[in-house]
Structure 1
């Protein structure tokens, strides 16, 4: 163990790190929420096609997936501050390009902007891992969940600021609907400034120093094959990876098709919006409770609990027909099950690999998570288009049931390897 000055005491640095990450998460969450809320609408207006409007969400998810590995490599070589700065800088550029696309009424340019805007989501995901580098034993999930919870504030605030931002943008000479994306750019720039100015010392670099890593060890690059080998060598990490991917797939699949299903059943836009708001609340509001439970009861039991909750959500969705109340309950449970999978899975993954390998493995996990999210959206569209929303719920139910049984039958092999 390396002896450090009192100002670099891990507990003191960790408190500061959590405060800085929480503030950046709130502001970055505003930028992401504005883009998610209005991207499809703006693309539909410019392209005149409902089909093309669906590419807006796909572009953002794909962008988050593509940014996962560059963010991980930046963290591996230069620390968390450089990685998060890269994510927020890319998102800010994407928001500016989006404003340009709206101004010149060119939807392909707008979609390219959304691709880079996905870096904001990737940055918010990466921030949760930054909260764990200096976590004391037994607090990993709790600290991670605190940063995840902060997303709630930005997610709720962002869409409500879009209207005033649009009016202010038009007063300043911007095109109609460009104002919200200008706000998004401003939010990401502010998050970037906060990370650059206040995330000091870098938590990952300090954790490596405490771990006795040799100078220059952080400069080594890890590729996908090496990350996969690290995961294969740790059964606990592999189970965390699968749980995170399945939770994301189950959540995105049902959530993405719920507005369409409710609309076909004659639900108003207000009902659809309220249902999605309740879903977001389920995702984030109870994450600190989930984190505390994972630290106290263990990450694997919480992962199994998450699969049970996702199964209940899938059953309710599959049997709801067009009943809005039952679907709303299903969406709340869907968000809560996802929270269990993300918080407990991310904590287990972090605890299961050595500190010098964490950025590459965490980046691999976020890459897989976003790819599964994009794939789940596409498959869900086909299932609902060819069969029904009920069949989609049943398919998700089978997926999470098999995953839960697998976690239960292999839990004796999920003890994290010492990091």
Structure 2
């Protein structure tokens, strides 16, 4: 009696990808709202705290440089941890580290210890790196034609916390003073709680892990995976990674330099913490609130036109900040709104380029490495801004940075001439 062996091939079972993507975005949005408040603390009072402790304007840009440098190291670690274990542990660990750094800043302020302050700000930078890397998680399961909007959804969630946080500088300062903590360290109380809660939200609810699921889909039968997710085949492009990294690094350098010294400039013209907090709140709102529009523009018209728009917008921001009267809070707020918008154009565009061109197998590691260049650029802008203002003036800093941002335009134009299909097509 003979037996025939019948082989059957069953398509692998995948969750409803659209439903999984909606859940991922919901969890990421919740975490980003919290982390936005933590991120805003260092932006609002970091330079003021250092100036108060060191009694030096020339070193006032050091805190921004330090927590941005710290974000460079954190970007590598979060990227590699995400590569090996998934987005959930990588992002949760990054936010938890940011919370620890926030507590360290408070301890340094109480002890009046500048060395401890600098080290704590370096650790605090992990929150900044994690806040940025979360945008990649939003794009892991998105189809190519919706990646710009997926990235923008995650970014825009930072707006609420980022706008509320600076405006809580005065109340949290009063709370800190009541607790025996220096007034300017108050916003870091909020940062510690916000970052810790963001870590908990991600650790508990970011399931399925978007990167691990995307990787599983990418190694499955191509027909099945394509039908389920519309995810494209991973095609590496060194040009794409280089262009995306350059756009994000340059726009971040310009943004960090002008933003870092604006609160000092406001204080030097007789205004207080509330005025500085208002201007920074407008700036942070402009960094993230336009994200849905930017994402739509990238998906509709492609990456390179929006990249060029980033350089032009940053030039306008630098010129307005440099030419505005020092006591005009309205004009400074408008200048920093344009600064945030230009940064947003660059970040969403660069993220879409890199996500489209980085191979899925090494995507998280590549994204982490690119974010290192962003962090280094931000650290350079932050630390150099204080030295430049001490040597020249705030208007000169703003004007030079605005002109520097224009380098994005020829870079986008030259890339467009090459007709690289990965960059030409709408993402």
TM above 0.5, yes or no, is yes
Q: Of residues 302, 316, 321 in structure 2, which corresponds to 1:312?
A: 316
Give 1:3-42 correspondences, 5 Å limit.
Answer: 3-5=11-13, 8-42=15-49
TM-score by length of 1: 0.85
Q: Of residues 167, 171, 181 in structure 2, which corresponds to 1:175?
A: 181
Q: Evaluate the alpha carbon distance shift between residue 388 and residue 91 of structure 1 in structure 2; reply closer, same or farther with a 3 A threshold.
A: closer
Q: Counterpart of 2:348?
A: 343
Pairwise CA distance, 1:101: 2.5
- Relative contact order, CA 8 A, sep 6+: which one is greater? 2
Q: Deviations over 1:148-183 (max 9, x none)?
A: 111111112223445555555666x66344654343
Which moved further from structure 2: 269-278 or 17-26?
269-278
Q: Secondary structure at the match of 1:201?
A: coil
Q: Is the 8 A contact 2:65 2:380 kept in 1?
A: no
Pairwise CA distance, 1:124: 0.4
Q: Evaluate the alpha carbon distance shift between residue 176 and residue 387 of structure 1 in structure 2; reply closer, same or farther with a 3 A threshold.
A: closer
Q: Evaluate the alpha carbon distance shift between residue 154 and residue 189 of structure 1 in structure 2; reply closer, same or farther with a 3 A threshold.
A: same
Give 1:209-228 correspondences, 5 Å limit.
Answer: 209-212=216-219
Which moved further from structure 2: 390-399 or 365-374?
390-399
Pairwise CA distance, 1:367: 0.8
TM-score by length of 2: 0.84
Q: Counterpart of 2:297?
A: 293
Pairwise CA distance, 1:349: 1.0
Q: Is the 8 A contact 1:321 1:390 kept in 2?
A: no
Q: Which runs of 5+ in 1 are unaligned?
A: 215-229
Q: Deviations over 1:330-361 (max 9, x none)?
A: 32222111110001111111111111121122
Q: Secondary structure at the match of 2:112?
A: coil
Q: Which runs of 5+ in 2 are unaligned?
A: 1-9, 222-234
Find out whether 1:126 has 2:133 as its counterpart: yes
Find out whether 1:199 has 2:206 as its counterpart: yes
Pairwise CA distance, 1:50: 4.8
Pairwise CA distance, 1:305: 1.4
Q: Is the 8 A contact 1:237 1:416 kept in 2?
A: no
Q: Evaluate the alpha carbon distance shift between residue 338 and residue 361 of structure 1 in structure 2; reply closer, same or farther with a 3 A threshold.
A: same
Q: Counterpart of 2:231?
A: none
Find out whether 1:416 has 2:412 as its counterpart: no
Give the Cα separation in 2 of the matches to 1:38 and 1:263: 11
Q: Secondary structure at the match of 2:140?
A: coil
Q: Counterpart of 1:274?
A: 278
Give the Cα separation in 2 of the matches to 1:302 and 1:120: 27
Which moved further from structure 2: 376-385 or 24-33?
376-385
Give the Cα separation in 1 of the matches to 2:101 and 2:273: 28
Q: Is the 8 A contact 2:150 2:295 kept in 1?
A: yes
Q: Deviations over 1:267-307 (max 9, x none)?
A: 66655443333222221221111111111111111111112
Which moved further from structure 2: 198-207 or 392-401?
392-401
Q: Is the 8 A contact 1:239 1:414 kept in 2?
A: no
Give 1:127-142 correspondences, 5 Å limit.
Answer: 127-142=134-149
Q: Evaluate the alpha carbon distance shift between residue 52 and residue 118 of structure 1 in structure 2; reply closer, same or farther with a 3 A threshold.
A: same
Pairwise CA distance, 1:398: 3.4
Give 1:321-340 correspondences, 5 Å limit.
Answer: 322=326, 324=328, 325-340=330-345
Give the Cα separation in 1 of the matches to 2:60 and 2:347: 28
Q: Secondary structure at the match of 1:245?
A: helix
Give the Cα separation in 2 of the matches to 1:72 and 1:147: 17
Give 1:154-165 correspondences, 5 Å limit.
Answer: 154-165=161-172
Measured on the aligned residues, the alpha-carbon RMSD in Å equals: 2.9
Q: Is the 8 A contact 2:74 2:94 kept in 1?
A: yes
Which moved further from structure 2: 156-165 or 343-352?
156-165
Q: Is the 8 A contact 1:69 1:360 kept in 2?
A: yes
